[in-house]
């Protein structure tokens, strides 16, 4: 599911609003998948943390997140001061 998120973002690197629309759709799918036991709560939490950053960042920050290889690695967690 992280690859689907990344693909949607990269295909719309120049159109963040379209990517954000797709991310919001994916969040519904993640909730359903979690409820049905198809993904773990830990995996969903990681996806949601990434989605939060992508949905709330500026268009300028958008490209920075997309280019951050650590952001896309399994196990990525936000920095403590990144929560603000």
pLDDT confidence of residue 81: 57
Q: Which pLDDT band, with edges at 50, 70 and 90, does 79 fall under?
A: confident
Q: Which two tokens stand for residue 37?
A: 């036991």
- Count Cβ atoms below 10 Å from residue 74 Cβ, excluding itself: 7
How many Å apart are CA 47 and CA 77, to the nearest integer? 10
In this structure, are residues 1 and 39 in contact, taking their beta carbons and an 8 Å threshold? yes
Q: How many CA atoms lie within 13 A of 31 on its CB side?
A: 7
Mean pLDDT, residues 60-73: 95
Backbone Cα Rg of the chain: 12
The model's pLDDT over 11-39, given as tens digits with 9 standing for 90+, comes to 999 999 999 999 999 999 999 999 999 99
What is the value of pTM for the model shown?
0.87
């Amino acid at each position: 599911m992280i690859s689907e998120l990344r693909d949607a973002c990269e295909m719309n690197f120049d159109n963040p609003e379209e990517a954000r629309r797709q991310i919001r759709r994916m969040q519904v799918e993640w909730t359903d998948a979690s409820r049905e036991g198809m993904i773990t709560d830990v995996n969903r939490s990681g996806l949601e943390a990434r989605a939060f950053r992508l949905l709330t960042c500026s268009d300028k920050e958008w490209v920075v997140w997309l280019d951050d290889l650590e952001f896309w690695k399994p196990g990525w967690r936000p920095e403590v001061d990144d929560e603000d």
